[in-house]
A and B are shown apart, each in its own frame.
Chain A
Amino acid sequence: DAKTTQPNSMESNEEEPVHLPCNHSTISGTDYIHWYRQLPSQGPEYVIHGLTSNVNNRMASLAIAEDRKSSTLILHRATLRDAAVYYCIPRRVSGNTPLVFGKGTRLSVIA
């Protein structure tokens, strides 16, 4: 699986957009990019995934660089409930191997 680099922590003001970056320079052509988040004292939850095109869902948007070596998770209006650790996880499309979680980015949201 591709290695990832994420900032250890980020801070945002409430109701402002947040851009969470992830570098995955060794990603293979068929790896999907998944994002999960973990709220305090809870298990991780799926946020979004993508392959090449930018993706939107009700939780967030995912912007993928043209060379696929990096991606950015975008929370359009951060709320206090978005305070969590965000994990970027490249995933081989054909594998049965499990997700590999790194340390992620701890997002703090200030009221």
Chain B
Amino acid sequence: NAGVTQTPKFRILKIGQSMTLQCTQDMNHNYMYWYRQDPGMGLKLIYYSVGAGITDKGEVPNGYNVSRSTTEDFPLRLELAAPSQTSVYFCASRVKTRPAPDTQYFGPGTRLTVL
């Protein structure tokens, strides 16, 4: 299994441009997440999905959109890039198990710079 893969690894955008960050997992996990991590800070949740066709906002959803048409893919869309969106973006997934462990598997991240 490749686990969680993210593309691209790096990207530089100009203010106002749009892009899609790709995330794919091959573990048949129900849950998928998008986080951002600013320098020296912890991770903040942007959006998450509990299954195909179902998404929900996290702590910092403004400026982003997501879709979940398949179990494997969970792309994150930036419509009008702003300097405040300069960050490292991590995608994660986990299988639905109760009660624990809540083991999330993370991708390697996408480093985005908006100039």
Interchain CB contact under 8 A, A103 and B100:
no
Interface residues of A (CB under 8 A from B): 30, 32, 34, 36, 41-46, 49, 51, 87, 91, 93-94, 96, 98-104
Q: Name the interface size band of chain B.
A: 20 to 34
A36–B35 alpha-carbon span in the complex (Å): 15
Rounded to whole Å, the gap between the CB of A82 and the closest CB of chain B is 18
Interchain CB contact under 8 A, B106 and A45:
yes
Interchain CB contact under 8 A, A101 and B102:
no
Residues of A within 8 A of B92 (CB): 43-44
Interface residues of B (CB under 8 A from A): 4, 31, 33, 35, 41-45, 48, 50, 58, 90, 92, 98-109
Interchain CB contact under 8 A, B42 and A51:
no
Interchain CB contact under 8 A, A32 and B50:
no
Partner of B109, one of A30, A43, A91: A43
Interchain CB contact under 8 A, B43 and A44:
yes
If A32-B99, A101-B42, A103-B42 touch, whether A42 touches B104 (CB-CB below 8 Å) is no
Partner of A91, one of B43, B44, B100: B100
Rounded to whole Å, the gap between the CB of B39 and the closest CB of chain A is 12
A94–B104 alpha-carbon span in the complex (Å): 16
Residues of A within 8 A of B4 (CB): 43
